Amino acid sequence: MNLPIITTRLLLAYALFIPLSLSISVQAEEKLNVLFIATDDMNCDLGVYGNPQVKTPNLDRLASMGVRFDRAYCQQPLCGPSRASIMTGLRPDTLDMHTLAHELREKNPDVVTLGQLFRQNGYFSARAGKIYHYGNPKQIGTDGNDDPATWDERYNPAGIDKEHEDKIVRYNKGKGLGISMAWWDPVSKDEEHTDGMVASKINELMKEHRDEPFFLAAGFFNPHCPYVAPKRYFDLYPLEEITMPVLEEAKADLADVPAMAILRDTKNWPYYFDGVSIEEARKCKQAYYACNSFVDAQVGRLLDALEENGLMEKTLIVFWSDHGYFLGEKGLWYKRKAFERSARMPLIIAGPGLSQNEVTKKPVELLDLYPTIADICGLKAPDEIEGKSLRTLLKDPESKEWTKPAVTQVWHNPEAWGYSLRNENYRYTEWLEGKAGRELYDHATDPEERTNLAEDPSYESVVADLSKQLQGYVRLKPHKRK
């Protein structure tokens, strides 16, 4: 007699359960967004990396949300090959790309890039600014060396830093701005500058596509030269507080270095250009720091937008630079060197379910970003990629399972090239497989790499072991070597 009542109640409960279970299922399958933030030529002279002089409150904020990688290294300290490697998960030797030439698809027509992988898996993929190589500032406002297959949409803003290049102060004696000692500090709004426009566009896209999975790439041009930022960021760094290395001591650092290690720097040492004074270099260092703080402010705008759109809990955030940068250390300027300051750059990753406010000192490579992002987002990366997912370190920053070294190469021409291996203790470098010299630095006692131990008999076994490890990474194609 009670059966109909029980059946009715069961049917009612079942009817209520169906939408609830479907809701849980949909939530479980919800795709994780990606906010991919790139900076150009940014080294680790940042508050978030322990330099109290350089103010980076928003990178501090991001690091508190995730994992800061203290030993992250590029595959080649030059924009073009570094960025191509990041976006493909392949080493420069595999891609056969070692210059700034626009040749990714010409040499690798079937490669599946990172953004392309997300497009293939139902994501909206878009960028604003520089992700692949651009001639900076010459190609600002254009597609540069971009790869159309990576994106659904592309945006190329150009601000007053590009439109008013005549106002930029130059110390490099009539040379162009692409490699320059040059600066400008206009009284201006962030949004008037190219990087401010990049942040604005990404925030706009974030809002437009918040109801669908997205891969959004914000490509900032700063702090690449010329060093241009609103004046208020320059004001953060009084010139009298900017210090420069003593040149006599800087020169002594290079006494035991193979000639090929500083091939591009010896002609006009110090500071790369003939006649640049210490005070002019000091002004450029101030401007570089100002640009770092300007980029930091744009990162803050991106983080604010994630929060405002309710996206923070379902977005993986990856912040990176393409390589490091010298600012007068050893009397050197720029990148394209195998030293720590050129090969190392900032890397911070934050996202749901990952460790928070943690630091790892394990050596990692930018090459590892592709498999990491794919892994965290549940996508299958191509079998041929050469990096390794950082998931282990994002869960346990001190994991003993991570033993892979980081390898950086430098290629100047077929007669001048080298490879550098970094593990937790040492940096070891060979030029022309040792025929043009070797370098070994013990980072436990010499983090500034001032004393080359490669010829020290007490380190003979260390050199032999690291040389053997490095050999497996020397895959330069025959037409690139002599």
Taking the C-alpha atoms of residue 331 and residue 343, their distance in angstroms, rounded to an integer, is: 17
Taking the C-alpha atoms of residue 339 and residue 471, their distance in angstroms, rounded to an integer, is: 19
DSSP string, 207-250: HHTTTS-EEEEEEEEEESSSEE--HHHHTTS-GGG-----HHHH
Which entry of 79, 225, 284, 291 is annotated as an active-site residue?
79
Classified as helix, coil or strand, 81 is helix
Element (H, E) at 462: helix 460-471
Segments of 286-425 assigned E as strands:
315-321, 326-327, 333-334, 347-350, 358-360, 364-365, 406-413, 416-422
Taking the C-alpha atoms of residue 127 and residue 153, their distance in angstroms, rounded to an integer, is: 7
Residue 193 designated active-site: no
Classified as helix, coil or strand, 392 is helix
Residue for token pair 């669908």: 212
Residues paired with 431 in a beta bridge: 418
Closest C-alpha among 197, 193, 192, 214 to residue 205 = 214
Which entry of 98, 102, 133, 209 is annotated as an active-site residue?
133
Residue 224 designated active-site: no
Answer for the pair 181, 280: CB distance below 8 angstroms, yes or no: yes
Taking the C-alpha atoms of residue 289 and residue 279, their distance in angstroms, rounded to an integer, is: 15
Answer for the pair 220, 37: CB distance below 8 angstroms, yes or no: yes
CB atoms within 10 A of CB 10: 10
Answer for the pair 410, 418: CB distance below 8 angstroms, yes or no: yes
Rg (CA), the chain: 24
Closest C-alpha among 36, 79, 58, 131 to residue 342 = 79
- Residue 14 — φ and ψ, nearest 5°? -65, -40
Residues with catalytic roles: 79, 133
